[in-house]
Amino acid sequence: MSLTRRDFTRRSAITGAGVALAGSAGVLATAPNALAATDVEDAAEGDSAADRHGVGYGPLIPDPEGILALPAGFKYRVITYSGKTKLESGEFTPSNHDGTATFDGPRGTTLLVNNHELKGPRANWKYPVPLTEGLVYDPAASGGCTVVEVRPDGRVAEWVGIAGTSTNCAGGSTPWGTWLTCEENSDKAGVNGMTKDHGYVFEVDPIDRRANHDPKPLKFFGRYDHEAVVIDPKRGHAYLTEDASNPNGLFFRWTPPKGFHHGRGKFRTLADDAGVLQAPKCFDSGGKFVDDLSRATKIGTVYGVDWVDVPDRDARTVAVRKQFGAGEVTRARKLEGMWWGDGGAYIVSSYAREESPGAAHDGQVWFYDPKRRTLTLKVLLGVNPDPSVDGAFDGPDNITVSPYGGLILAEDGEGVSHLFGATGSGRTYPIARNDLNVGTEEEPEYSEFAGVTFSPDGKTLFANIQKPGILFAITGPWKRHKR
């Protein structure tokens, strides 16, 4: 049943949905340890609420190794390093680490599936994902996933989960313990040397290697520049983001066919046109259509959501996002990471500046509540005036919900790059800074963080530096932050 504008307007008037905050991750201020709108009154009284509540873990301490700055009491361990560590087969770990998730493995091990965002022909990359027999989709493509096993005694093993895919960016874990890897590239066969169409989602099983043989694109999720995906464990819907522009990309919902039951290997049984793929059409509490999520200028903004069917999900002649005219769907600039938590999906819009139809910002996180069919703006980062200076955060990308409360976000902005947290009371704090300069002394460059995710027991935070491709395990005195 559609959530009509009239229904949403009436509900907003009754419940105050136009200003209410949904979920439990709270809001973000625009600078580290700044106070959000809910804390302004305390701040006006001259009370240092940030200090009183002990937000974060203190200042970051430069790393003598020049890799990762962390707060006092924290330490990191390099798990994989492109060009240095090796797979079981003897090849070097592929480069360009991106989205990651963790899983409980056998005999106390922790398993990670790690994306490698490698685009175009294999000859373009020194360390592409090896073409392992039986695991290759397109032998011309350079991307894919590796599976990393971290054993209780600290030993590490790594092997290929899927190869021959393109630009494996983010993705998402499933409630049944597999990984959905997303191609952020929609080259067709014959373009850039590819021998098969790209722009799909693939499922990778970290435990059963046999399940990964003969990779099958899950075409029912659509063919476009995929970023991330989450599964609603209660209703069975999949939600997906598209990182694309001209026009801006879309946020999608896939509804499984009637009678379908999720589980290991079940996606392989579905037809290419199974279920229904839809894009959102949002409207505000006054019933006015919202063309782009960057129109929101206040934390706590709530939009109602209707869903519109995608005409041609495989985009045979026209890209999916271009199949809709003005006024038909709601778009957003650089839709990036997602994470399922608190009964809904957290969705990142990395930034929107002069190229966006709405207000300029350096990051949003929205919370989609499937029960209410609403999107609530939980995070709004102002434009960072000087990204080269350590301090403010910009360009969030991958995201996870922390077992200690709030959110953890990976920066993919400009200049200095961080992992940073946000509490439910609206304060942000740094967790790590990338000190590895992959540029020059005159023009330093610090690669983005990606793949931020906690171990199943919550004791270890795993994260990637994309270039050259390093997977870290971060441990320390984690503490609970008020949601």
Q: Where are the alpha helices (DSSP H) in 212-366?
A: none
Predicted pLDDT at 481: 77
121-127-130 Cα angle (round to 5): 75
Question: Which residue, 112, 118, 125, is CA-closest to 79?
Answer: 112
Say if residues 398 and 381 touch (Cβ distance below 8 Å): no
pTM of structure: 0.91
User: Cα-Cα-Cα-Cα dihedral of 339, 328, 376, 303, to 10°?
Assistant: -160
Cβ neighbourhood burial of 126 (10 Å; 0-12, 13-18, 19+): exposed
Query: Tens digits of per-residue pLDDT, 284-327?
Result: 999 999 999 999 999 999 999 999 999 999 999 999 999 999 99
Inter-CA distances, 361 with 270, 298, 413, Å:
40, 11, 12
Predicted pLDDT at 6: 54
Predicted pLDDT at 40: 24
Predicted pLDDT at 2: 52
Residue 421: strand pairing partners: 408, 429
pLDDT at 149 over 70: yes
**DSSP one-letter code for 39:** G
Predicted pLDDT at 23: 29
pLDDT at 343 over 60: yes
Query: Tens digits of per-residue pLDDT, 425-467?
Result: 667 899 999 999 999 999 999 999 999 999 999 999 999 999 9
Residue 145: strand pairing partners: 115, 162
Rounded mean pLDDT, 105-128:
97
Query: All domains of the chain, ordered by start, with CATH?
Result: 5-475 (2.120.10.30)
Structure tokens belonging to residue 393: 């955060």
Q: Which helix (H) or strand (E) holds 43?
A: helix 40-44
Give residues with Cβ within 8 angstroms of 268, minimum separation 6.
Answer: 203, 216
Say if residues 291 and 357 touch (Cβ distance below 8 Å): yes
Q: What is the mean pLDDT of the chain?
A: 89
d(CA 276, CA 253): 8
d(CA 165, CA 216): 11
How many residues does this entry show for the chain? Answer: 483
Strands 110-116 and 60-61: unpaired
- Sign of the dihedral through C-alpha 311, 317, 319, 325: negative
Query: Tens digits of per-residue pLDDT, 36-94?
Result: 322 322 323 333 333 334 689 999 999 999 999 999 999 999 999 999 999 999 999 99
Say if residues 476 and 74 touch (Cβ distance below 8 Å): yes
Among 27-36, 343-352, 421-430, the range scoring the smallest mean pLDDT is 27-36
Strands (E), 381-445: 396-401, 407-411, 418-422, 428-434
Query: Tens digits of per-residue pLDDT, 1-27?
Result: 455 555 655 555 444 333 222 223 333
Predicted pLDDT at 22: 28
Q: What are phi and psi of 303, to 5 degrees?
A: -115, 140
Rounded mean pLDDT, 125-134:
98
Residue 456: strand pairing partners: none
d(CA 481, CA 231): 26
**DSSP one-letter code for 9:** H
Q: What are phi and psi of 209, to 5 degrees?
A: -65, -30
Predicted pLDDT at 66: 96
Say if residues 133 and 147 touch (Cβ distance below 8 Å): no
- Sign of the dihedral through C-alpha 23, 25, 30, 33: positive
Each residue of 148-171: b (16+ CB within 10 Å) or e? bbbeeeeebebbbbbbbbbbbbbb
Give residues with Cβ within 8 angstroms of 246, minimum separation 6.
Answer: none
Query: Tens digits of per-residue pLDDT, 173-219?
Result: 999 999 999 999 999 999 999 999 999 999 999 999 999 999 999 99
Residue 251 DSSP SS3:
strand
Question: Which residue, 139, 133, 136, 125, is CA-closest to 93?
Answer: 125
Predicted pLDDT at 414: 87
Predicted pLDDT at 308: 98
d(CA 356, CA 361): 10
Q: Where are the alpha helices (DSSP H) in 260-362?
A: none
